Structure 1
Amino acid sequence: MDMLVIDMIAQWVFVVTLALYLATNLQWYNYSFKRAIFRHHKFMWHIYYCLVPFTLYFGTFFLTRPLGDYLLVALSMVYAIAIIVWYLRLDKKLNFTKRIVRYFVILFIFMTFNKSLCYFLGIESGLLDLMPLGFAVIISRMYEKVLLDRFVTLANSKLKLMSNLKIICVTGSYGKTSIKNFIEQILKEKYRAYATPRSVNTYTGIVADINHNIDYTTEIYIAEAGAREKGDISQIAHFLNPHYAVIGEIGEQHIEYFKHIDNIVATKFELLESERLKKAFVFKDNPKPKEIAPGVAKKIQYFPEEVRNIQATLEGTSFELFIKGEWYKFETMVLGYFNVTNLSVAIYMGAEFGVRIEDIQRAVRRIEPVPHRLNKIETNQKMILDDSFNGNLKGMKEAIRLSSLYNGRKIIVTPGIVESTEEANIELAKAIDEVFDIAIITGELNAKILQTHIHKAQRIILKSKTQLEDMLKSCSKPGDLVLFSNDAPNYI
């Protein structure tokens, strides 16, 4: 009897441990099985922490008793310890949202039912103990689908009640979060404007934002639309039906999902499918889709139209923009040459909504940089450039250019470019080599490429970011500039 109880506990421990691994990986990849399994950046984890343990677990039931029982207990203990160690080393741990809590509640209900049924029928549960995990995943997904449909209905009802609400939607490969925030800060000079928080840019995220955060007094809603596959932005466009669309710069970001730049372009231009579209601002150097409906094409304004006298230094940015027949000067503490483009479309949007030019100029002067996107911090006699949320080649090279203006030793901390091409990382490595004295490469994803093409700078490879703080303490000194260029969780 005692062995029976121990055996049952071992089976529960194994299933719950496997459920934790599964939930963590699914949450990283937005609950997409396809992405979590086939597009995982560390696929070998699935071999070590899922396939091998599952195979061994399966094998224990074909051994004679009590040998199989002893091995099952040992396997469960070793597996639980391995997953705990793996989990504690993660820098992006499982967020126990209501969805995750529901998943585990459903799992425990099915596990209890399964054990009770086997007990009353007088049979060994054996491999049947894995069935509750499968049921939990299926039932959880079905429940979340029903819940999402209900939330979508509520969000649609709320938007219908806000009949005077104007909606702006922003997409692009690069800079969409910055553009969204710049538009919000400019429009607040005249309107009650609200933008999706942080980097919320998925269909489900926007639905939740509308239900929970938009006030009924809001006059303008600015949403950000992201995509991992064709149809993602179309879904958002048909849900929001924005009056104004912004398509920022399009590039090879997430090329591993889209396979070809033409697919990225087509997906971004899905935003123009809105039935209420009045005007669309599109970055002028973007590649164009094969076909744009004539009725839509006439609503497009390409940006920036005319800009001159651009000054982009570590002290700030200034430029002149041609608006309605006149040149106007703008100054801002936002860093980066590329932000002139991002600011220009926000300025055009402000003018489109009738905000006075002097009010726009004042707003631009007061605009605060988006957190972790070229934020300058001076502390402990060092200059820190926090560009950890900027993950595209153009933006990262601009941060490197700005760093080159600094008179002193320069250190860069970077994992390279995630979800891009080998050529882009080689170009990044060469730019790093021309400017920095020390290059700290975090993670294994691009370590080989960067290490191969960085020759002048001292190279330091960190497999885990847990070592970063101690490394910076040992290799930096007062007067240094430290650039944090892009960031990637250790599952990437």
Structure 2
Amino acid sequence: MFDLDKLSIIAIAIGSILFFLRRSLRYMRYFQQEEYYPDRFTRWWLEKRAFDSRGTVVAITAGLATLGVAELNLPLALPISIVAAAILAIIAFREEDPCKVGKLTLKMTQRVTRIYRVALVIYTIAILLVAAAFFHNATPVAVGWFWLVQIIFFQTTFAWLIAANGILWPGEKRIQDGFMQEAKTILGKVDPYVIGISGSYGKTSTKSILAKILECVEPTFWPPGSINTPMGITREIRERLVPEHHYAVIEMAAYKRGSVTRLCNLTPPKAGIITAVGLMHLDRFGSLENIYLSKTELPQAVPQDGILVCNGDNEGARRVWGEFKKRVTLVYGLELDKGHLDCWMTDIQPSESGTHFTIHWEGKEYKGFTKMLGKPMLSNILAAFTMACALGYDPEYILAAIYNLEPEKHRLNLVKQGDGVLLDDSYNSNPTGFKAALEVLEAIPGGRKILVTPGMIELGELQDQENSKIAKEAAQVCDLVAVVGDTNRKSLVEGLRQGGIKEEQLLQFENRDSALSYLKENRKEGDVVLIENDLPDLYEAAVRF
């Protein structure tokens, strides 16, 4: 007859592996959102205290129960283990499906599938090795201790994903390098005029605006949305770039020194736009000077006979303009008091339908209109206008294209809601953009001015200071503020109170959905609601495992 205690150890091992099957996918969703960076994923795990509780409770209960019946010499180790293992499996498979739940669901890409499978293999091997150690001396006491060992396995689920990613990285890099070389070959054969766009903010909108303007005159390639990483751009080139494309407008993201250089090597630019050098991703770069140096990688890659366009309203971008001269080097802006401008905008008149403005270029004035709102978006329009003019296109034609542009989703676009207004600026946020959004909120006629925000992130050691500072300004504009989530709650509430907001005007919610639900139920005539930023699950969600 087979030893019952050995059967108990087998049951525990099976239960543990079944638990890992689903639980690892839940952690994988956050690993994917952290772009597979082990240090960032580990920091998230620690800061959010994303520790296992459900599996650990089962393991402790089963372990202590088994040790207890062993002490009483009762033959109950096997039934306890079978029941507990079954509970583990039920818990795991009743949990939320990470591919269906959350603001950003888990995308089962080929890379995710590889990491998942390797993690499952090494987890299974580790479980079986530990099980073998207990198996050869199987007793009820050994069964109890094997249950308690499962606590370590459950608490380190995230680490098995990191280990699998590390094992796969050399092969992953070879795959990526192969795809990138293929994309470079395609790009070389098509040979479009590449315009790179880099900056701490405004890249995606400027790319979209410029590409749509150029598309009106020549076939233009641009990666959609916020695709701005080497592999994202590589995929777009391999799948969508065709010989007819005359222009290629490429957004170049930077998360560390060398990021933009890598993108410039992939898509060598003949012209470039620097939208801003700001505090975004300060936590990754460590200093504003490092951010500046990363942005200069684009102008360094633009050839001497190329075109460089910089935002004169931004100190860092203006510095780039001064230090990196090309055949054509232009500076644009909205603020004439900052210094020389080659192209600027005045007579800005916002309304619910959009914004009227006047652009000054080469000694002439050009009246224009856009459906977009807010100074940051107008600055992006001006960047695109300046580059298009530098490429030789008629300013009036460019303005006609701008007139027909639709606002980008979640970038301070105005949505009428009955007699009220929703200003959706939820894509992301930074100090400049937040301030501009508050100006638009104040300018739009209506009833109560309401702000819904989780604050700003990735500002490093300045994050609390910047959130508190903008909250003081919000207190002067808003009749009601809904602070969302825990990430910036303390600094936002502190700033709002310092700004003079009354307690009855300050609401706090765990997530955006509960805030919007409250506002819907307590809506008043003419409410103007600004949604400023919407953090991913990494920051907002209260994680429970």
Normalising by structure 2, we get a TM-score of: 0.79
Task: Choose 126-135 or 396-405, whichever is displaced more.
Answer: 126-135
One-letter amino acid of the structure 1 residue matched with residue 12 of structure 2: D
8 Å contact kept, 2:26–2:97: no
Residue 276 of structure 2 contacts residue 316 of structure 2 at CA under 8 Å; is this kept in 1?
A: no
Gap change, CA 1:135 and 1:149, over 3 Å in 2? same
1:84 to 84, 91, 95: 95
> 1:338-353 to 2 correspondence within 5 Å?
338-353=376-391
**How far 1:259 moved relative to its partner?**
2.0
In terms of mean alpha carbon deviation, does 310-319 or 193-202 score higher?
A: 310-319
**Paired letter, 1:355:** Y
Alignment of 1:151 onto 2:189: no
Rounded Cα–Cα distance in structure 2 between residues aligned with 1:355 and 1:117: 69
Does structure 1 residue 481 correspond to structure 2 residue 528? yes
Q: How far off its partner does 1:389 sit?
A: 1.0
Structure 2: distance between partners of 1:225 and 1:419: 18
TM-superposition CA deviations, 1:311-346 (whole Å, max 9, x none): 234332222222233222221111112323211110
**Residues 23-69 of structure 1, C-alpha deviation per residue, up to 9 Å, x if partnerless?**
2222011111122113x2x634455239x959x79x969x9788699
Q: How far apart, CA to CA, are the structure 1 residues paired with 2:24 and 2:108?
A: 13
Shift of 1:247: 0.6
Q: Distance in 2 between matches of 1:289 and 1:317?
A: 25
* d(CA) in 2 for partners of 1:398, 1:134: 40
Cα contact 1:169–1:246 (8 A) shared by 2 = yes
Q: What are the Cα deviations for residues 415-454 of structure 1, in whole angstroms up to 9, with x where unaligned?
A: 0111222221112211221122221111111112222232
Superposed CA offset, 1:156-213 (max 9, x none): 11111113x1111111112111111110111112111122111111122111111122
**What residue is the counterpart of 2:141 in the other structure?**
none
Matched, 1:241 2:268: yes
2:277: which partner in 1?
250
Q: Write out aligned runs for 1:245-394 (5 A).
A: 245-274=272-301, 276=303, 278-288=306-316, 296-299=324-327, 300-304=329-333, 305=341, 306-394=344-432
Aligned to 1:30: 35
C-alpha separation in 1, matches of 2:289 and 2:299: 16
State the match for 1:104 in structure 2. 116
Match of 2:511 in 1: 464
CA distance in 2 between partners of 1:182 and 1:109 (Å): 47
Structure 2 residue aligned with 1:451, among 484, 490, 493?
A: 493
| Contact 1:37–1:43, Cα closer than 8 Å, also in 2 | yes
Q: Which residue in 2 is equivalent to 1:16?
A: 21
Q: Secondary structure at the match of 2:365?
A: strand
Q: Supply the distance in 1 between the matched residues of 2:217 and 2:279 (Cα, whole angstroms).
A: 36
* Aligned amino acid, residue 311 of structure 1: Q
After superposition, the Cα gap between the structure-2 partners of 1:396 and 1:53, relative to the gap in structure 1 and judged at 3 Å, is same
- Which letter maps to 1:152? M
Q: Relative to 1, partners in 2 of residues 1:355 and 1:220: Cα closer, same or farther, differing over 3 Å?
A: same
State the partner residue of 2:338.
Answer: none
Q: Number of paired residues?
A: 487
For the residues of structure 1 that align with 2:32 and 2:168, how far apart are their CA atoms?
13
Match of 2:337 in 1: none
Q: Quick one: which amino acid aligns to residue 280 of structure 1?
A: L
Name the CA distance, whole Å, in 2 between partners of 1:293 and 1:442: 39
Alpha carbons 1:312, 1:337 under 8 Å: kept: no
Letter of the aligned partner of 1:488 in structure 2?
L
What's the counterpart of residue 142 of structure 2?
none
8 Å contact from structure 1 (residues 187, 355) kept in 2: no
Q: Amino acid of the residue matched to residue 26 of structure 1? A: F
1:491–1:72 CA distance, 2 compared to 1 (3 A) = farther
Matched, 1:185 2:225: no
Deviation at 1:375, TM superposition (A): 0.7
Distance 2:432 2:184 in 1: 38
Give 5+ residue unaligned stretches, structure 1.
Answer: none
1:407 matched residue in structure 2: 446
* Matched position secondary structure for 1:43: helix
User: Aligned residue for 2:241?
Assistant: 214
Give, in whole Å, the separation in 2 of the partners of 1:47 and 1:143.
Answer: 30
Of 96, 100, 105, the residue aligned with 1:93 is 105
How far, CA to CA, are the matches of 2:286 and 2:200 in structure 1?
Answer: 14
Alpha-carbon shift at residue 229 of structure 1 (Å): 1.6
* Paired position in structure 2 for 1:439: 481
Question: 2:456: which partner in 1?
Answer: 417
2:475, 2:409 → 1: CA distance? 27
Q: CA deviation at 1:121?
A: 12
Aligned letter for 1:411? I
SS at match of 2:51: helix
Following the alignment from structure 1 to structure 2, what is the Cα–Cα distance between the partners of residues 419 and 236?
Answer: 22
Aligned to 2:51: 48
Are 1:137 and 2:165 an aligned pair? yes
Given the superposition, is the C-alpha separation of residues 219 and 77 from structure 1 closer, same or farther in structure 2, using an over 3 Å criterion?
farther
Distance 2:31 2:347 in 1: 48
Q: Which deviations, in whole Å up to 9, do the C-alpha atoms of 1:363-384 show, x marking residues without a partner?
A: 0111111110011111233211
Report the AA paired with residue 392 of structure 2. G
Match for 2:34: what amino acid? Answer: Y
Q: Does the CA-based 8 Å contact 1:412-1:482 persist in structure 2? A: yes
> Residue 43 of structure 1 aligns to which amino acid in structure 2?
L
Deviations along 1:203-241, whole A, 9 cap, x unmatched? 221111111222332111111111222211121122211
Q: Is the 1:227–1:233 contact (alpha carbons within 8 Å) kept by the matching residues of 2?
A: yes
Q: Identify which range, 69-78 or 151-160, moves more after superposition.
A: 69-78
**CA gap 1:177/1:450 in 2 versus in 1, 3 angstroms:** same
Query: Offset at 1:79?
Result: 9.3
The answer to which of 83-92 and 435-444 deviates more is 83-92
Q: Residue 390 of structure 1 contacts residue 396 of structure 1 at CA under 8 Å; is this kept in 2?
A: no
Structure 2 unpaired stretches of 5+: 71-75, 139-145, 334-340, 540-545
**CA shift for structure 1 position 388:** 0.5
SS across alignment from 1:297: coil
Percent of residue pairs identical: 25
